[in-house]
Amino acid sequence: MLAPERRTRADILTAVAIAAVVAIAILAVVLTSGVRGTHAQSAAVDLPAPATGGPVPSQVQELWNQPDGSAMRSLVVGGVAVTADGGTVTGRNPRTGEQVWRYERDIPLCKAEVQFGTVIATYKDDRGCSQTTLLNAETGTRVAARSSYMDKAVTLWPDGTYVLALGDNRMEMWRSDLVRTLEYGYVDAPVNPRTQPRSDCTLLSAESAPSRVAVLEHCPKDAADRLTILNPAPKDSTSPEEYSSHVLNEPGGAVDGARVLAVSDTRIALYLPGTQTTPPVLTLYDVNGNLVATHQLSGPMTGDAMVARLSTGYFVFTGENLIALNPSTLDPLWGAAKVLGTPALMAGQLIVPVADGLATLDPNTGAQLTRIPLQRSDYHGQPISLAVSGTMFLERRGTQLYGVGGPAS
């Protein structure tokens, strides 16, 4: 029978030293991680998903407003309206504007978006807009997070499958769990050199669909902007897979202001500004980058033009007019003049912000059905992004989100 082991003084000192090192390491991680500067308050009670059958209210008024400087559009998920401002993302009751949940960090927000029943919040540190958190939209609880080098300013665009994060020099595509499926452009520390086809170009605009992502970029050696069409999820996320890439020889391809408007599984729509001899146009390309159609526009698009993707298709707000695009071919279907922003759907009708309130349109033809009067406070002509929750309207104007509804909403 073996004699029992005895702990010596040296064994005890060694164990104490190891425990001290571990404690110091844990403390260092806590002090330097984002957890230390994070304050979260989850929802105590889930808000029920609102009814979607209507009817559209005939009388509405402003009920509340809150700062919303870090969103790009009006954000609503189910029964929760989302605002993003400073370093805080807040889930709110769409009817009252009251806080349901809150997620706050001591670093500034870059942008916030919603998709997959979640909120995507990207924060800025010394590596750019590099820290992204995924929150449950109903409760505000943290679902996932990622960190990677990004530009100092980014835009986020969800396409129903992926999220596109775009900066001036770098673009990434993320899955629903924030796992990166594609990086494109500048790479700060490439493991394998020369995996990027071009790393010195300025990324001007991009949009995506589940099977394609289109990037408009300007490269130093090109005489005009370049349209590049990529696989959003290649086998290796660090090695982009190009379907096509070519310099735009069409009129307007060398004029500032061109942008990608929409991407479907078969087409890409671009806006090309007018030149001294040609008008501004909407140009359509197939997935191989071949020009298939050109549609002349009645006027140029402004710098604050916006695009809304709804279940019935794409709607382009040019800064003055609204253009509905076919969801598959992206050909223009109809236009509506003198609108103030992008629309939303309620009870099968398209609701559009206009000067004296909200207009309801037939989504298939653009024909006006009714008009809902609304007196807007502190409005100075900013583009309006409209969203709907039940019979409540959410208008994002400038850096404020307004809850708009009727007495029976």
Dump the DSSP string for 187-224.
-SS-SSTT-SS-SSPEEEEEEEETTEEEEEEE-TT-SS
Can you list the domains of the chain with their CATH numbers? Answer: 35-405 (2.130.10.10)
Q: In which element (H, E) is residue 12 found?
A: helix 9-32
Question: What is the β-pairing status of strands 80-85 and 88-92?
Answer: antiparallel
Query: Cβ(142)–Cβ(180) under 8 Å?
Result: no
Residue 11 has phi, psi (to 5 degrees) of -60, -45
Strand partners, 270: 260, 283
Half-sphere exposure in the Cβ direction for 31 (13 Å, CA): 6
Query: Cβ(103)–Cβ(123) under 8 Å?
Result: no
Task: Count the neighbouring beta carbons within 10 Å of the beta carbon of residue 138.
Answer: 22
pLDDT, position 207: 97
Q: What is the Cα–Cα distance from 29 to 239, expressed in whole angstroms?
A: 32
Query: Can you tell me the mean pLDDT for 312-329?
Result: 94
Distances (CA, A) of 385 to 72, 85, 186, 400: 8, 16, 32, 11
Q: What is the pLDDT of residues 220-272, one digit of tens each?
A: 999 999 999 999 999 999 999 999 999 999 999 999 999 999 999 899 999 99
Determine the Cα angle at 308 with ends 306 and 309, to 5°: 145
Question: pLDDT-derived band of residue 41, with 50, 70 and 90 as boundaries?
Answer: confident
Query: Can you tell me the mean pLDDT for 179-201?
Result: 85
Question: pLDDT-derived band of residue 47, with 50, 70 and 90 as boundaries?
Answer: confident
